[in-house]
């Protein structure tokens, strides 16, 4: 049970980090877009070029989900339980809604 709870916490850390990257990317984009609209000198495509954080955030949530799924599969070899844990369902739901 402790190992499963640790896996849940690890997945939640992946999600927290990936959502932070996504929101920080959006904030930087809006700030640069505001500077651009105000006529500040900068490259025309500067706001668009910040998208690497959105890509990193998306990759992080996918990696975290894969790691969690693999951990559950390994734990299932030791003890029988449902693979569809509430934590994993929330991650999948977040991916569809977000």
Q: Which of 91, 72, 50, 53 is nearest to 6 (CA)?
A: 72
DSSP symbols for 45-59: TTTGGGGHHHHHHHH
pLDDT for 35 equals 84
pTM exceeding 0.85: no
pLDDT at 81 over 70: no
* Banded pLDDT at 91 (limits 50, 70, 90): low
Q: Which of 88, 26, 74, 86 is nearest to 54 (CA)?
A: 26
Backbone angles phi, psi at 34, to 5 degrees: -65, -45
């Amino acid at each position: 049970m402790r190992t499963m709870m640790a896996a849940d916490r690890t997945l939640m850390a992946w999600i927290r980090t990936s959502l932070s990257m996504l929101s920080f990317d959006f904030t930087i984009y809006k700030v640069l877009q505001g500077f651009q609209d105000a006529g500040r000198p900068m490259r025309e495509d500067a706001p668009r070029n910040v998208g690497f954080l959105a890509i990193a955030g998306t990759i992080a949530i996918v990696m975290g989900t894969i790691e969690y799924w693999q951990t559950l599969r390994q734990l299932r070899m030791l003890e029988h339980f449902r693979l569809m844990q509430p934590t994993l369902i929330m991650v999948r739901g977040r991916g569809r809604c977000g």
